[in-house]
Structure 1
């Protein structure tokens, strides 16, 4: 299997060799110890900061009364891959203080690696016996279908603003001479990237039971961390000159997710689905409008 890094196609072996030259990325930061420590910290803090009646929204307890969680070892290649691929995705992220990579990484590669645990979980659950398990897989798929159109359109808006699929280019802030249409695309992309997170993270009405396999559970948590990091990626350009603003925006994003968990239950999943569909239509209209403006400027 080949992976595209920038304009070059690499096999998985070549990709691991590339990471091996920056081994601390894989073992320490942003992957490895730091990622798994964050998973442990989230698991430790959630029961203490989230009321018991809201814990199902964060996968702290099953939403089905017939569900019995079973911890299983990583005994299959499938469950091992559910951990390894999102771990690899986190290791590839060009985050501050991380060792530099020899080649840039495309956003599509990271999203594909992060989503493997979700795809695998849905594929396994839909084949299992039992109505509750299959129902859970359909809820998981429905949540993804609600969130990903808006998420990918937000990414396209940011790609258009930065004129690159490379992640390190997405961190660049618009300059003073930026065309207003591009500035609108960037701002809408940043905002809607955050707004699309709840269904992708399985929060509120989009909550589902955690999978039985421990490998899938860890993989989904790594995926969640990766998606949140991608959501704040366009804001990393603020770190050099506007650290206070970056921290303030991170607090706002955290507050938004907490408010969604606490208040989203007032509306049904179907109502949220309609809302996200309308959001995707607005994004698509802006994307097409900005494309026309940019094309006219180049002619």
Structure 2
């Protein structure tokens, strides 16, 4: 059954074709839940491009609140051609964090994301870890300046797969926006990743070696602040091999950077067997980092959704 999912035809004005289902009992049950308020809009980017932004505002948020300061958690993807902002209805970890912890949860489609035209889609060509990283910083600065209810002292970021890569690059950019971040199963060195994807975007190492070096997350490890990174990886990851996490951990250790590190034996990229432990650990880390209100009467998040609902980018 489709819930709050409008259908549209291609190459015609954006008009709804037919309502497949009104939701019935599901809609009435959802109305009884304290779900976040969803707002979507666009933010200007360089070269006349625009970023799409989705905010999940906690149930306690009100338009008339002037002095409220909510912690912020940004979920990044950034993988070329991917889309994080859409009208699709979902109840996931972002919904939980916003409702349970009074967090403003943010998703952003920057240059390189799908559905933004040919010029924006080519922005990452031969330059991974550049444009998409700077665009996230640009958008966050804009939001912090224009939305008074965002607490600029409590901003976190996290991502899975390519999103984990962008997270580690953001923390290593010597920026002052993000207090901490979580990188789950991140790519760190493109010389040792799937060549079919990598060379399609970066070209071959022989013709664009500089691009590979600049996109290497381990080269920025020394700029990551102490205690600002939580690195998570499965030892049986076939999508992003465990060696990527090891390389980043080694670079951080050699630079004297203190960080948190979880490795899961016999777990693949999606961490299906330990998904509850993964999300509980992430929430615990963010509770300390973002000074979230602690409510011992409530249980931690249980990953009731299947691993297919995890918003993994790779």
Structure 1 length-normalised TM: 0.29
In terms of fraction of residues, the more helix-rich structure is 1
Structure 2 length-normalised TM: 0.28
In terms of fraction of residues, the more strand-rich structure is 2
Greater RCO, CA 8 A, separation 6+: 1
